[in-house]
Structure 1
């Protein structure tokens, strides 16, 4: 360890020891004079233990449903008698289905077994598992585990969605234990529900508050090997004065089962609004998602309010559509906050908030309590910041953030020449986004959570990790371990590849978090010619000569043709849409075999990511326009009124000179022709797309 590294580590340890005593993180006072909700000030550099208490039936359903979904899959067929006697199983129904579907042949049934069947039909007897198994083994060639596999559909295993209003919660912080007799407890997150370690939502009922918080979010941070990106982002947003959530950490138990280490944060709900704006029991929070509007597609977060009849939101959209200048926008929309978010997005490398997504992980708050009626944008979900997926540190604001298809960007002229953007970048960098501050902050947090990460990512004697559910499909992100944490919090890039049918269909690249901080800072200083001399002392150290390492990880799935799914077993099973290799048996996807496909459907090549991920074909016409970019950055088009995926090969065909290193123009403004049509956007040459030509 060089001297500077040792000094940084020493300073971090000193900070932690001091702050453990005073229980307040000095980072917020030193760099922003910020006061947060009491819960987060009380849990600075302390890790509370949250225990969720479920009744026996709900506890069994929660844990057993995942195990049974796996054990009853033909891929992983395993005898598990708990699955055959679970609360959701009706053995009487199962026996009747076996008879009606002729899975068992009772043409020569014995008198004793005939009496059993008659008593079941008369609803005078409940079949036991031993009786059921005897019927299966006597009158069929099935084993018990085979007949209970998904394709035969003897039972409906509960959905992997879980929610209860009947839980209670203990919150233990040091020697104090706070009890809440009723909480709503459910799975949380969106795409992260696919991973083995799940996230959770907690809503304290009956007016209860936990140090100013009613809604709690426990996030597993599966996609982030460093476990620090989201915590860092919320801290920084608070310090620079954006309306932000707050975050710390917690350990979770469900009954007596340890579930692991989590990010603990609040949520954009009514209590957050009351804490930050003073409005009680607000009905003015809107969650934004996909839709037809080019800027915001939102619905009221209160399920009892029909957005189609919401006059306030309708008026907002009308004002947005009519606005022709910044002055028009400022009459109803918090323009300054919107611009501040964009500057922060650029520095932090925000991946999940692309405006052409559209509206990914965004809320709006309609502030009606001040004199000026105002709509305020709110961003959340930052586990893919600081070099996660988006890894190009040397891109300008215009290249990375400016969206020519978004009216807000064009009206406000949010590009590299905008003096307000340039001023904000300088302000944020001098205040907090510089390696002198952030490298120290990374080390400080890393030292604090390291033992908890080790606990969370170290298998037990049976090879199991806490809080992980066995699933039929495993993501490469499920494999991030303790060593990945240690390395990715420094300068080690993680390259994680996911394979399907032995074809690489997804690669995630995650820079070391310190590399992003240093390289983005250096690029912005150099490109925009900012005076960054305040950071000179950092770059005079050996830290400036860091070495970038790389860890490569791969995950390949088993199943039919390596797809992660089972092969279809019934000869009569057909393609679900008449075109693909996919069928459905027992409410589960399965892969059709050659015998089940009259005219064999050729599996798409490795470039057709949309088919491999979602069974949606790729676009065929090279002139097909990009209609949408989703939250993963994947591009979608439309052909014959059906969605299709744009591939790398097709994207080369979007414009004549993409393959030679030029980007495709967004618009069709031709300024030069040398045999090819050219435009200029953001001060750079771009190739006019084929779609600009009349078809």
Structure 2
């Protein structure tokens, strides 16, 4: 059983009204073990102080004839069945993803980090710095327990470092892994009071056959301090590319570029990662607006040359000539591109390529000798926004925030008749077969039912970020709306949106619709704009 026993407290299991002590396991201090007979009626866990029950679970667990799994204190369930989204489009041929138990639907594992508390406090007290803390990480699944030594944990994100609840990067040492992965992220979900936006976004990406991380929930502790409910995703660092495109075996990895908007310093009067051509000098791209996330593991160039060559193509790309589509396909996987751009519009990515030229990757697939577009960090989706909501969900994708600015990848794509037609066909297909309440409702409801108790627990916890939210800048790049940005901060601090409000809507905030509210409105408006009737 997993729980935190405070000082002077002990844990026990109550079986048919008889008390049996539990002891902290040598494998993990928040896991308690012991012996008790098989229950006739049921059993529950309790916390004791000075021999008296201080707190006990207000429900009975069903009798178990075998060893109990790693149950979490005060949770009425161990594993649930969660409906899945249908597969709408086949996986892209380039995908060869490993089979892994990292993300198990219907379960929430626990991650426990044992570390020097002074180091942890230093990291949390200086959230603007890149401070790594060395830990031993224990994974507690329902049946599995695994401890990894020498795991580095540090804060992740840029603007999110001022959020009360922080996000983290995990780096597992070489020759160790967690179900095949070494680089992971713990997403705080702090901008999303529904807690499910990232989950269902990655579900949709999988349903339409696109490469992306998986997602699952995790309960996180550092030492005996519970940090709360997080989203566990894969970081696009080695061995992710091998795991996603090479089946986990020997793989000729290409270069992976990351779009960083206006860079770490937010130089609004300078260039951005909009994929504009800057000239025939690769160093012009090395200004912080792009990042080399992964270098190739072969003799291919490991600078910005290939990105430069792609932007030159994009600047000169044919649109209406007879060979336009064929030419595009030499430089980029166009099916991957149009699927991703359709998803950006449908799901309302408010901090993606089209809006803020942010949170995307361009991966050069050496086997195909062309680029692949990969999205990332999708918390601003399904009506959680930092840009104008009215423009996002009026159906006319040409009015989508950012479309009036310089966004050559999507704008030139829509100038190619075959790609525009494919884009609109995909919009209709996804709206008909996935992106509507009739299809999505059951999985959403199942997920909310699964996390409801953990959300209450998460909201009850003290936050560890010692820094107050930073003041908003006087200027932000278009189409970001300062009022929306301010409101996102306000609703995080006030924390007054219930789980059901966040799912169903309305929320009372201009920067946040309900998840279901977004789906119903956006799918209807898109189909109306495209003159589609069932």
Normalised by the length of structure 2, the TM-score is: 0.67
Equivalences for residues 469-508 of structure 1 within 5 A: 469-473=465-469, 475-479=489-493, 481=495, 483-495=497-509
- Bigger relative contact order, structure 1 or 2 (CA pairs below 8 A, ≥6 apart): 2
CA deviation profile, 1:252-283 (whole Å, cap 9, x unmatched): 11111111111111122232211121164835
Alignment of 1:382-397 (within 5 A): 382-389=378-385, 390-392=388-390, 393-397=393-397
Structure 1 residues 52-71: aligned runs within 5 Å: 52-63=113-124, 66=125
Question: For the Cα contact (< 8 Å) 1:245–1:265, is it kept in 2?
Answer: yes
Q: Residue in 2 aligned with 1:626?
A: none
State the Cα distance separating 1:60 from its structure 2 match: 4.0
Distance (whole Å) between structure 2 residues aligned to residue 422 and residue 249 of structure 1:
33
Matches within 5 A, 1:179-328: 179-278=147-246, 280=251, 282=253, 284-289=255-260, 290=262, 291=271, 294-295=274-275, 298-302=290-294, 309-325=303-319, 326=324, 327-328=326-327
| Aligned-residue offset at 1:285 | 1.1
User: Structure 2: where are the runs of 5+ without partners?
Assistant: 1-76, 263-270, 277-288, 471-488
Q: CA 1:302–1:416 in 2, change beyond 3 Å: closer, same or farther?
A: closer
> How far apart, in 2, do the equivalents of 1:243 and 1:307 lie?
23
Which runs of structure 2 are paired with 1:667-678 in the superposition (5 Å)?
none
Structure with the higher helix share, 1 or 2: 1
1: CA distance, partners of 2:333 / 2:512: 33
Q: Which residue of 2 aligns with 1:528?
A: 530
Q: Pairwise CA RMSD of aligned residues? A: 3.2
Equivalent residue in structure 2 for 1:429, among 419, 428, 431: 431
In the alignment, the residues of structure 1 paired with residue 84 and residue 363 of structure 2 have an alpha-carbon distance, to the nearest angstrom, of 28
Distance 1:455 1:184 in 2: 26
- Measure the CA separation in 1 of the matches of 2:346 and 2:464: 34
Residue 221 (structure 1) shift: 1.3
Provide Cα deviations, 1:72-106, integer angstroms capped at 9, x if missing partner: xxxxxxxxxxxxxxxxxxxxxxxxxxxxxxxxxxx
2:398 pairs with 1:398? yes
Pick closer, same or farther for the CA change 1:331–1:194 going to 2, 3 Å: same
Larger CA deviation: 245-254 vs 293-302: 293-302
DSSP 3-state at the match of 2:337: helix
- Structure 1 residue corresponding to 2:84, chosen from 21, 27, 30: 27
- Equivalent in the alignment of 1:331: 330
Alpha carbons of structure 1 residues 248 and 40: separation in structure 2 relative to 1, 3 Å: farther
Query: What does the per-residue CA deviation read over 1:110-141, in whole Å, with 9 as the maximum and x for residues that have no partner?
Result: xxxxxxxxxxxxxxxxxxxxxxxxxxxxxxxx
Distance 1:416 1:346, change over 3 A: farther
Three-state SS of the structure 2 residue aligned to 1:52 is strand
Q: 1:448 to 1:398 in 2, by over 3 A?
A: same
CA distance in 1, matches of 2:414, 2:214: 31
Displacement of 1:43: 2.2
Q: How far off its partner does 1:211 sit?
A: 1.1
SS in 2 for 1:449: helix
Q: Secondary structure at the match of 1:413?
A: helix
Q: Which residue of 1 is the match for residue 30 of structure 2?
A: none
SS at match of 2:507: strand
Q: Hey, what's the Cα distance between the residues in 1 that align with 2:82 and 2:102?
A: 7
User: Does the aligned pair in 1 maintain the 2:253–2:296 contact within 8 Å?
Assistant: no
Once the 2 structures are TM-superposed, how far is the Cα of residue 307 of structure 1 from its aligned partner? Answer: 8.9
TM-superposed CA distance for 1:443, in Å, is 1.1
CA distance in 2, matches of 1:41, 1:492: 34
Equivalent positions of 1:358-373 (< 5 A) are 359-368=357-366, 370=367, 372-373=368-369
Pair 494,228 (structure 1): closer, same or farther in 2 beyond 3 Å: farther
Structural mapping, 1:466-615, within 5 Å: 466-473=462-469, 475-479=489-493, 481=495, 483-495=497-509, 509-532=511-534
Check conservation: 1:39, 1:211, Cα contact below 8 A.
yes
* 2:254–2:363 Cα contact (<8 Å) kept: no
* Deviation at residue 328 of structure 1 after TM alignment: 2.8
What is the SS of the residue equivalent to 2:358? coil
Q: Where does residue 675 of structure 1 map in the other structure?
A: none
- Alignment match, 1:15: none
| Separation (CA, whole Å) in 2 of partners of 1:415 and 1:446 | 41
Retained in 2: the 8 A contact 1:200–1:219?
A: yes
Q: Which residue of 2 aligns with 1:454?
A: 456
| Secondary structure in structure 1 of the residue aligned to 2:147 | strand
Helix, strand or coil at the partner of 1:361: strand
The alpha carbon displacement at 1:492 in A equals 2.1
Q: CA deviation at 1:527?
A: 2.8
Q: Is the 8 A contact 1:23 1:42 kept in 2?
A: no
Check whether the contact 1:37–1:213 (CA below 8 A) recurs between aligned residues. Answer: no
Contact 1:397/1:416, CA 8 A, preserved across alignment? no
Aligned residue in 2 for 1:49 = 110
- Contact 1:187 1:199 survives alignment (8 Å): yes
Give the Cα–Cα distance (whole angstroms) in 2 for the partners of residues 415 and 520 of structure 1: 25
Secondary structure of the corresponding residue to residue 364 of structure 2: strand
The separation in 2 between residues aligned to 1:449 and 1:256, in whole angstroms, is 22
For residue 75 of structure 1, what is the aligned residue in structure 2? none
Deviation (angstroms), 1:233:
0.6
Q: In structure 1, list runs of 5 or more residues that go unmatched.
A: 1-19, 67-157, 459-464, 496-507, 533-695
Counterparts in 2 of 1:37 and 1:489: CA distance versus 1, 3 Å: farther
**Structure 1: distance between partners of 2:153 and 2:147:** 15
Q: In the aligned structure 2, how far is the partner of 1:32 from the partner of 1:337?
A: 11
Task: Give the 3 Å change call, closer, same or farther, for CA 396–213 of structure 1 in structure 2.
Answer: same
**Which residue pairs with 1:407 in the alignment?**
408
Q: Is the 8 A contact 1:361 1:379 kept in 2?
A: yes
1:213, 1:266 within 8 Å by CA — same for their partners in 2? Answer: yes
In the alignment, the residues of structure 1 paired with residue 170 and residue 380 of structure 2 have an alpha-carbon distance, to the nearest angstrom, of 23
Contact 1:415-1:421 at 8 Å conserved across structures: no
CA contact (8 A) 2:127 2:161 kept: no
